[in-house]
Amino acid sequence: MVDNSLIRLEGLRKWFPIRKGLRRKPSGYIKAVDDVSFDIKQRETLGLVGESGCGKTTIARCMLRAIEPTSGHVYYRKDGSFIDLTALEPDDLRNIRQEMRLIFQDPYSSLNPRMTVRNLIAEPLIVNGVARGAELELKVADLLQKVGLRPEYMRRYPHAFSGGQRQRIGIARALALDPNFVICDEPVSALDVSVQAQILNLLQDLQTEMGLTYLFISHDLGVIHHISDRIVVMYVGKVVELGYAESIFRRPTHPYSAALLSSAPVPNPELRSEKGQRAVLRGEVPDAGSPPSGCYFHPRCSHAQDKCRNEYPDLRSISNSGNGEHLVACHFAEQFSFKGVFDDFEAGGST
Ligand code: SF4
């Protein structure tokens, strides 16, 4: 089988020490990301979904080495072979970071209000010595046009723009260095619903035009459904389900994924699947500093049995998807038939 991965995470961990007492010795660890492995294929959009605090953004920060992982590896394909980003020296990492960019959640706070749009977009080009003079001006104008803004706006400041326009400026800034891989960290959650679809469509158009690969982080399943090819569902720092979006939205297999989907708003509720069991999400997300024994989801799972309380389930392949790789961390995954969002994915359309 041809390996067309662009990024591969292997056993990634980020544990934050809990320090107490005068000597500040660690008394335990918050396992924000714990033994996470998945790959992102070239030109695909991988959706990363889960409740707040499940480790989504920590994974993104570890991938870019904005924070150092505790252990594990992040491999990035460059010129046909994989480089371990966790082992790179700062100079080499700086070069690779030009190919890996981040689109932030909040278009209001992520842009310096004292800089013009021209300077905001030109900054990465100047810092990395990519362009200057007339070439720089042309590149900024071209980037503005790419994201649907008029080049005449480049002398204005961010406050003169709406939320959607500011996010377009943030996208232009992220794309300035012509990256391969872009992490979109909740890029539409601060925007009005009416503007969200425009930004999602823009991201999809840019992906096609520039051959981009996305890691798309969101807690909003409607957004994830709209944009993702495959989905990773996270719970308390661990991957609990991974598969094609179509498979998971039609027939979720992990009780947590099923409960998330059953609580997601559907544009037309009549399209919601009538087949299968309905899963309900009850209780609170446990503390990542002292997760429950066995399967972390067992205190909230109405299907929990003794084995669930004692043994953490491995992430393993199951065969019921019929659409490529489908991994689930549940002892009893084969026994469930949960309601999906749609019986017919195509009929469900997108948000
Ligand atoms: Fe529920 Fe047990 Fe599966 Fe965990 S392993 S999701 S507790 S059935």
Q: In this structure, which residue's CA is closest to atom 3 in ligand 1?
A: 330
Q: What's the CA-to-centroid distance between 277 and ligand 1, angstroms?
A: 15
Instruction: Indicate the residue type of 328.
Output: V
pTM: 0.90
Residue in this structure with the two tokens 């499940």, named with its chain if needed? 54
DSSP SS3 for 207: helix
| Measured distance CA(171)–CA(266) in Å, rounded | 28
C-beta of 255 in contact with ligand 1 (< 6 A): yes
pLDDT at 322: 53
DSSP SS3 for 241: strand
Name the packing angle between helices 163-175 and 133-146 (round to 10°).
Answer: 130
DSSP SS3 for 341: coil
Q: What's the CA-to-centroid distance between 48 and ligand 1, angstroms?
A: 21
pLDDT at 271: 54
Instruction: Please classify residue 191 by burial: count the beta carbons closer than 10 Å to its beta carbon, then call 0-12 exposed, 13-18 middle and 19+ buried.
Output: buried
CATH 3.40.50.300 domain extents, the chain: 5-99+179-348
Q: What's the CA-to-centroid distance between 120 and ligand 1, angstroms?
A: 48
pLDDT at 345: 43
Residue 27's CB is within 10 A of a number of other CB atoms, namely: 11
Substitution candidate for ligand 1 out of 314, 331, 335, 338 with most atoms within 8 A of CB: 331
Q: What's the CA-to-centroid distance between 312 and ligand 1, angstroms?
A: 9
Q: Which atom of ligand 1 is nearest to the CA of 256?
A: 6
pLDDT at 284: 86
Q: What's the CA-to-centroid distance between 60 and ligand 1, angstroms?
A: 27
pLDDT at 278: 63
Substitution candidate for ligand 1 out of 253, 297, 318, 335 with most atoms within 8 A of CB: 297
| Measured distance CA(265)–CA(220) in Å, rounded | 9
Q: What is the mean pLDDT of each run of 10 residues along the chain (351 residues)?
A: 86 93 83 96 96 92 96 95 94 91 86 95 93 93 96 94 94 96 94 92 97 95 92 96 92 92 66 60 86 96 95 88 79 87 48 34
Q: Which CATH architecture has domain 5-99+179-348?
A: 3-Layer(aba) Sandwich (3.40)
Q: What's the CA-to-centroid distance between 55 and ligand 1, angstroms?
A: 20
Q: What's the CA-to-centroid distance between 332 and ligand 1, angstroms?
A: 7
C-beta of 298 in contact with ligand 1 (< 6 A): yes
C-beta of 158 in contact with ligand 1 (< 6 A): no
Q: Which atom of ligand 1 is nearest to the CA of 254?
A: 6
C-beta of 308 in contact with ligand 1 (< 6 A): yes
Substitution candidate for ligand 1 out of 233, 241, 257, 298 with most atoms within 8 A of CB: 298
Q: Give the residue from 222, 215, 213 showing the smallest Cα distance to 193.
A: 222
